Amino acid sequence: MLKTWMSLSLLSIEAHHVMWLRSLKLMAGGSGANREAVLMTTEKVAAAQEAFWGVLQGGTTDTVIGGYRSKVRANRKRLSR
C-alpha cells in the first residue's frame, strides 16, 4: 500500500511539472502551441483507453499508475528540451 501511495504522490508531482511546461508552451502561441494542444488531448484519450483495457485484463493499480508515470516522464523530457 505504501508503494502505491508513493507512486501516486510522484505521479502528482510529475504531472504538475508537465502541466506547467505545457502551459508555457501554450502561452507562447503559434503552431507549436496548436500541435501541443492536439497532442495533449490525443495522449489523454489514448492513456485512458490503455488504463481501461489494462484493468479489464486484470492489471493492478500499480501497473496502471506505472503506465501513466512513464507517459508523464516522456512528456516532461520532451517539453524540457
pLDDT at position 78, please?
Answer: 97
pLDDT band at 71 (very low <50, low <70, confident <90, very high): very high
What mean pLDDT value characterizes the chain? 96
pLDDT at position 27, please?
Answer: 97
Percentage, residues of the chain above pLDDT 70: 100
**Cβ contacts of residue 26 below 8 Å, gap of 6+?**
33, 36, 37
| Cβ count within 10 A of residue 76 | 16
Task: Please state, in angstroms and rounded to a whole number, the distance separating the CA atoms of residues 41 and 75.
Answer: 13
Record the cell numbers describing residue 36, joined without a space: 501541443
pLDDT band at 64 (very low <50, low <70, confident <90, very high): very high
CA 36 to chain CA mean position, Å: 13
| Residue 1 DSSP class | -
pTM here is 0.91
